A and B are shown apart, each in its own frame.
Chain A
Amino acid sequence: MGVGIEVTNLNAWYGTNHTLQDINLNIPANHATALIGPSGCGKSTFVRCLNRMHETNPIARVTGTVRIGDLDIYNDCKPVEIRRRVGMVFQRPNPFPTMSIYDNVAAGLKLNGYSNHHVLDEIVERSLKNSALWDEVKDDLKKKSGASLSGGQQQRLCIARALAVDPEVLLMDEPASALDPVSTSKIEDLIFQLKSQYTIVIVTHNMQQAARVAEKTGFFLNGRMVEFDSTHKIFTNPSDKRTEDYITGRFG
């Protein structure tokens, strides 16, 4: 089951570039939360701070507190530990090119040293079913490489890979921006399915997408969070002028 996320005074830098400034935010458990804003506003940096991927870049720096469930992820544990509890799906599908479909899904467990084949089989099947890919690939799980699938299938494979480690939170960084409309709608259906089980944070530049899948929406601009509220409120009656300008397409 998912857990909530509590962000306090989060600041992030790339070199001297102050990309996130004083972010405070409570993300509810077992719901989908969308983050919108023009490109370069810091929303991607924000989700990368939630599983400490931001700091994989040597010039990056973070201050502030992020609590996932009851764990203070910057003080109580190492990056590896928190990343096992927080799954991530990236903008471009990135299956492991040398691995079969099966090994791609099982990668998170196998590479962490898990070797019980019966259990792995079960988990691979369940994860692929949960990501609505099972029927399309069940016949050549071990024959085909992950890279041989179509773009939309690859992205669902990446979602299955993230689900296989049974995360509490699922971060999605513009998961449909590199996909065609049919694949996009499949991914959106999937998010709708999954949000009862996982806490989902989805970054998107597509406002319709945010409106379709998320209960809560946050609007980012120039490294600050301008407004965070229920999706309905954000899209119908935003309290900040800048949010309204963005929603109505007056800039960005």
Chain B
Amino acid sequence: MGVDRVRDEHKLKARLRSVIDGAATGLAILATVLVVAPLVAIFVYLVYKGASSLNLDFFTKVPKPVGESGGGMANAIVGSALLLGVGSLLGIPVGIGGGIYLAEFGRGTKLANAVRFTADVLNGVPSIVMGIAIYALIVVPQGHFSAFSGGVALGIMMIPTVTRTTEEMLLMVPNAVREAALALGVPNWRSVLSITVKTASPGIITGCMLAFARVAGETAPLIFTALGNTFWSVNLNREIAALPLQIYVYALSPYDDWHRLAWAGALVLIILIVLAVSLVRYVTSRGVLKGAS
């Protein structure tokens, strides 16, 4: 009798536990569906809207004045390219240098840990704050908004990302490769640049691309540095249009034609990001090295 009751109780408990297990599994799956489905929907919607709005004019024409239909974002594309060019010139070399320090010179030191930590924290500082700082640092002394100041803001935002990915990629290079170079009597700087960095270069390049794609969509730091411009300009010393800024302005405008242009601009940015993210995935999954042990 007693034994049976214990067994029954045990069975009941086991059943309960398996029900809870099933429920938890169900909930996790539900959460995933709840998250992934709308996210995929957003993505598909963006691509659909963008693709149906994109045409050749988008790439070749400047915006038409309010009330006229047509026009494109040629000036914003060129503006973004200029801003990103300035940003990359500043952010990529400094970022790679920082990554080289972390991986090749600073390993295990307190300074390196502090740099790594600060880089990660800096990554979380809102971009609008970066914009204020650059405004105070460059725009105020110059007395006017400029493409240059916008580029500097973007470049500064690239540094932490590039530093951290460069470090990660360099750490994937086996130590044996470094030793081989040093044992040949190759100077350290040469060995780092021509051997270690070169070996990790596919990874470093894609890391830079990712940082590039991320800041390509940054809007907040440009609002009061590059400001935006509806005319054609390639002057680094004047305000300049940028794709994300234009999307922001057009999205909040009351004109359907401008909405269409905003969607097209969003698609261009998304394509850039998809490319960068896929490349990073591809390179890191394959490993930075082919066949090296």
Does a CB–CB distance below 8 Å link A and B in the complex?
yes
Residues of A within 8 A of B (CB): 51, 53, 56, 58, 79-85, 87-88, 90, 92-98, 107-108, 111-112, 145, 147-148, 158, 161-162, 165
Which among B175-183, B228-236, B261-269 touches the partner chain?
Answer: B175-183
Most buried by A among B184, B186, B194: B184
- Say how far B182's CB is from chain A's closest CB, in angstroms: 6
Asked whether, in the complex, the Cβ of B291 is within 8 Å of the Cβ of A148, the reply is yes
Q: Judge whether B10 is part of the interface by a CB distance below 8 angstroms.
A: no
Q: Judge whether B290 is part of the interface by a CB distance below 8 angstroms.
A: yes
Query: With the chains together, A61 CA to B183 CA distance in Å?
Result: 18
Asked whether, in the complex, the Cβ of B185 is within 8 Å of the Cβ of A81, the reply is yes
What is the number of residues of chain B that contact chain A, defined by CB distance less than 8 Å? Answer: 27
Query: With the chains together, A147 CA to B290 CA distance in Å?
Result: 7
Query: With the chains together, A27 CA to B72 CA distance in Å?
Result: 78
Looking at chain B's contact residues, the main secondary structure is helix
Asked whether, in the complex, the Cβ of B185 is within 8 Å of the Cβ of A93, the reply is no
Query: With the chains together, A147 CA to B173 CA distance in Å?
Result: 14
Q: Judge whether B225 is part of the interface by a CB distance below 8 angstroms.
A: no
- Please give, as numbers and ranges, the residues of chain A lying within 8 Å of B182 by CB-CB distance: 53, 56, 79, 83
Q: Judge whether B252 is part of the interface by a CB distance below 8 angstroms.
A: no
Query: With the chains together, A85 CA to B198 CA distance in Å?
Result: 25
Q: Judge whether B32 is part of the interface by a CB distance below 8 angstroms.
A: no
- Say how far B183's CB is from chain A's closest CB, in angstroms: 4
Asked whether, in the complex, the Cβ of B199 is within 8 Å of the Cβ of A97, the reply is yes
Q: Judge whether B22 is part of the interface by a CB distance below 8 angstroms.
A: no
Residues of B within 8 A of A (CB): 107-108, 174, 176-177, 179-188, 190-191, 194-195, 198-199, 201, 289-293
Query: With the chains together, A98 CA to B186 CA distance in Å?
Result: 17
Known: A56-B179, A90-B180, A96-B177. A112 touches B185 (CB 8 A): yes
Most buried by A among B182, B186, B198: B186
Known: A88-B183, A98-B201, A145-B291. 8 other contacts (CB 8 A): A51-B183, A80-B186, A80-B187, A85-B185, A90-B179, A94-B292, A97-B291, A147-B290
Known: A96-B177, A97-B199. A111 touches B183 (CB 8 A): no
Asked whether, in the complex, the Cβ of A96 is within 8 Å of the Cβ of B289, the reply is no
Asked whether, in the complex, the Cβ of B199 is within 8 Å of the Cβ of A111, the reply is no
- Please give, as numbers and ranges, the residues of chain A lying within 8 Å of B185 by CB-CB distance: 80-85, 108, 112, 165
CB-CB nearest in chain B for A164:
B184
Asked whether, in the complex, the Cβ of B184 is within 8 Å of the Cβ of A92, the reply is no
- Please give, as numbers and ranges, the residues of chain B lying within 8 Å of A147 by CB-CB distance: 289-292
Asked whether, in the complex, the Cβ of B179 is within 8 Å of the Cβ of A53, the reply is yes
Asked whether, in the complex, the Cβ of A84 is within 8 Å of the Cβ of B107, the reply is no
CB-CB nearest in chain A for B105:
A58
CB-CB nearest in chain A for B178:
A56
